[in-house]
Amino acid sequence: MSIIRSIAIAAVASLSLIGAASARDIFTVKFEGAAAERQVIAQNTVWTCEGDTCVARPNHASSVRACRQIARELGARVIAYGPEGDELTADEIARCNGETQTQQAAN
Tell me which of 61 and 37 has the higher pLDDT: 61
Residue 81 has pLDDT above 50, yes or no: yes
pTM: 0.67
How far is the C-alpha of 58 from the C-alpha of 65, rounded, in Å?
A: 13
| Domain boundaries of the chain, sorted by first residue | 26-106
